[in-house]
Each structure stands twice: as C-alpha cells, then as structure tokens.
Amino acid sequence: MPLMEHLLHANELYSESFRMGRLPRTPRLQLAILTCMDSRIDPDRILGLQEGDAHVIRNAGGRASDDAIRSLVISYRLLGTREFLVVHHTDCGMQRISNDRMHQDLLTDLGADVSDVDFLPISDPDETVRADVDAIRTSPMVRPDINVHGFVYDVATGRLREVV
C-alpha cells in the first residue's frame, strides 16, 4: 500500500473512535514543550501526557529559535501556559552538521546563498539546553514568572535528565 494511502486509512480508523473534539484550546497542564523533531521522541509517552495536556513545539534540535520563542509566547499569552520544558536529546542529527557545511551544501546543490542562515547546530546537548533555557528566560517577550526547565532525553534508555 502506498504511504499516503496507508496514512489516510490510519486516519479513517482513528477518526471512527475519536472522542476528543470538545477539548479546550488551552492545555490542561498549562505546559508547553519545546523539543526536537526526531522521530524517536514522543513527548506524550515520555512524560505520560494525554491529548489536551500540553502544547508541543518541535523543530530540528528543539532549539529556541525566534519562531520557537514566538510559539511559546503565543502559548502563554493567548492559551494560558505557565511552564515551559526544553528537551534536547542524545544522538541528535544536529550534532553532525555545521553552519559552514549546510551553507556550502545548499550553495552546491541548489545555488542558494544562505550564508546568513544559522541552522543552530548542536555541539553539546547540555550546553545548548542551557543556552536555549537562558534565551527563553531572558527574552523580552517572556514574563519572568514563567518557569522554564531544561532536560536531555537519552534515546538509548528513554530517561530524561534535568540540566541545571
């Protein structure tokens, strides 16, 4: 079965028993999670969450980019979250890239000069968690009473480790 056909069939089965259509827009736990798009990370299972418990913002590396911070600001200003988790992980693909390499690859492959783009590579997950937590806490758009916590998820063990 072709992939798209499989996905649409799975959605049809899901929708037959779907009973969450009346969940409020605001997350039940007043929680927003910023994490990596890595397919090995399932924030709901890792943290024991259900639909409607939290906002989950994902990008490559789980980095506190301008757009991720924009989403966190919308989450607390309009939708009531009061706690943010930043979750990076071990064995992240963003540890295998550099800005220079990405700039050169895109120039070579597409002729695109993207030398002004920061791809936010990761050298050390603990270090980038600290940097991203700090970027969120010190953003002029984030209230000082929003709690921001940082973690590294170990993809080999399934454990979260808090980064202080």
Please name the residue ranges forming H helices in 81-161.
Answer: 99-110, 125-137
Mean pLDDT of 112-140: 97
Asked whether residue 125 is assigned to any structural domain, the reply reads: yes
Domain containing residue 113: CATH number = 3.40.1050.10
pLDDT of residue 50: 95
- Cα-based distances in Å from 60 to 68, 112, 125: 11, 20, 13
- Rounded to 5 degrees, φ, ψ at 33 are -120, 130
Asked whether residue 19 is assigned to any structural domain, the reply reads: no
Asked whether residue 4 is assigned to any structural domain, the reply reads: no
pLDDT of residue 100: 98
Q: Percentage of the chain with pLDDT > 70?
A: 100
- pLDDT tens track for 99-112: 999 999 999 999 99
For residue 150, what are the domain limits? 25-163
Asked whether residue 127 is assigned to any structural domain, the reply reads: yes
Asked whether residue 15 is assigned to any structural domain, the reply reads: no
pTM of the model: 0.94
> How far is it, in rounded angstroms, from Cα 131 to Cα 138?
10
- pLDDT tens track for 12-30: 999 999 998 999 999 999 9
- pLDDT tens track for 70-85: 999 999 999 999 999 9
Asked whether residue 120 is assigned to any structural domain, the reply reads: yes
- pLDDT tens track for 50-59: 999 999 999 9
Whether residue 1 has pLDDT greater than 90: no
Asked whether residue 13 is assigned to any structural domain, the reply reads: no
- Rounded to 5 degrees, φ, ψ at 27 are -70, 130
Domain count, the chain: 1
Asked whether residue 7 is assigned to any structural domain, the reply reads: no
Average pLDDT score, the chain: 97
